[in-house]
Structure 1
Amino acid sequence: MKFAKLASMSAIALTLSFSAGAFADSHGMAVGITPTMKKLDFEHNGKKHTISRNQDQKNTVKADFAKTSRKCPPFCIQPISLAPGVETLGEVEVINYIEKMASGDSSILVVDSRTPDWVAKGTIPGAVNLPWTGLNPKKGAKTEGIMKIMQESFNVGLAGDADEFAVDEAIAAGDTSKVFDFSNAKTLVMFCNGMWCGQSPNNIMNLLKFGYPADKIKWYRGGMQDWEILGLSTVKP
């Protein structure tokens, strides 16, 4: 009796195991993103993209992101909370923002803050590259360039008759509240190389200095290192 019961249970377990395998095979993807999302197909700026995970269950991370130790400073571990009001995101939340953006929400922009040499190795599909140096006066960023990024990329307006000179003075004084209009500013999802990378934090801190609303800035702390570790899709510019 006990043997028959055990045999029956084994048969049920085998059937369930086979069914799960058949389900994965029928979808062609054994490695999903979440239990309900196998992949995300979307179109952005006229290009078709897919975000999925590498299906090779023996795949390992690229050498660029396998290194565990980098000199600190400058490559120090970043905190979970970067600044008051700035939300820290994980991979699923980043993908959700990309899905909203791809569905026509023009108020969202996914920003790769890394330098072009890193971006050339691969970035998150749908992201635009705005290197951290472009918003950093200490790294040679000029007022004209900062204004161009703020207006053309982030949809930030100029308050009143503010001009380059007014913005320059405001940046120098640390008070841009009277020169920038953030009422239609985009929600920015910003990332760089990972939890040891200071490029997106630098961009974020400079944006906050310029008066950018903290609730319109989202930070993917894990960045490309976590993205690569999870085998998620990348694209080259």
Structure 2
Amino acid sequence: MADGVETIAENGILSYLEKITGGDDSILVIDSRTPDWVEKGTIPGAKNLPWTNLSPAKGATTDNIIKIMNDEFGVKLAEDMDALDVDEAVVAGDTSEVFDFSGAKTLVLFCNGMWCGQSPTNIMQLLKMGYPAEKIKWYRGGMQTWSVLGFNTVKGGS
């Protein structure tokens, strides 16, 4: 995974889920899989945010990405910035001035397993937008390991 992004195991994701259950709203566990996968089962407490929702190559618009960053992740546009500024910054390779990450949540992302590219794609897109790497955690084992170990799952997602 990318520099600064922490790879976590089951004890790590369980710890984050426990913090969320205790009322910590500075953490978000994200199932990066598409809805057809999530309908088969997901980790309780995870929010479904398909990898396609952050991928311009798959049709995600800058406006939608900004909305997700703001509404879900606690990231605001920097003062006097708009979607065009974001587009220009991404093309230039420097988004450091367009987003305000001071309220950014810690994101714990997972997908089907270490062989699956859905959460890594979300992570790379977030990093491209300037999301602080230290606030991104990757549960590499994903649903495959979670299920093999017998942990609870729920149908669908929040």
Question: Which residue of the partner structure matches residue 109 of structure 1?
Answer: 28
CA distance in 1, matches of 2:7, 2:94: 26
The answer to whether residue 46 in structure 2 is matched with residue 130 in structure 1 is: no
* Alignment counterpart, residue 126 of structure 2, candidates 207, 218, 233: 207
Distance (whole Å) between structure 2 residues aligned to residue 112 and residue 174 of structure 1: 27
CA distance in 2, matches of 1:174, 1:134: 20
Aligned counterpart, 1:155: 74
1:173 offset after TM fit, Å? Answer: 2.2
The C-alpha deviation readout for 1:206-237, integer Å capped at 9, x for no partner, is: 10110000000000000000000001000012
Tell me what 1:118 maps to.
37
| Structure 2 counterpart SS, 1:99 | helix
Equivalent of residue 100 in structure 1, options 8, 11, 19: 19
Correspondence 1:187 to 2:106? yes
Helix, strand or coil for the counterpart of 2:7? strand
Provide TM-score, normalisation by structure 1.
0.65
Q: Residue by residue, what CA displacement relative to the aligned partner does 1:176-216 show, whole Å, maximum 9, x if unpaired?
A: 11110101100000000001000000000110110000000
Shift in Å, 1:168: 1.8
Deviation at 1:171, TM superposition (A): 2.1
Higher relative contact order (CA 8 A, sep 6+): 2
Counterpart code for 1:197: C
5 Å-filtered alignment, 1:1-237, equals 82-237=1-156
Deviation of 1:137 after TM superposition, in Å, equals 1.0
Distance in 2 of aligned mates of 1:211 and 1:133? 18
Look up the SS of the partner of 2:147 in the other structure: helix
Give the count of matched residue pairs.
Answer: 156
User: SS of the residue aligned with 1:188?
Assistant: strand
For 2:129, the aligned partner's letter is: F
Uncovered stretches (5+) of structure 2, i.e. residues with no partner: none
Of the structure 1 ranges 217-226 and 131-140, higher mean CA displacement relative to structure 2 is found in 131-140
Q: Which runs of 5+ in 1 are unaligned?
A: 1-81
3-state DSSP of counterpart to 1:124: coil
Structure 1 residue 166, shift from structure 2 partner = 1.1
Displacement after TM superposition at 1:138 (Å): 1.2
Deviation track 1:129-180 (CA, whole Å, cap 9, x = no partner) reads 0000111111111111100110001000111111111112222222211110
Percent of matched pairs sharing the same residue: 69
Shift of 1:91: 0.7
TM-score (norm 2): 0.96
Deviation readout 1:43-66 (Å, 9 max, x if unpaired) = xxxxxxxxxxxxxxxxxxxxxxxx
RMSD: 0.8
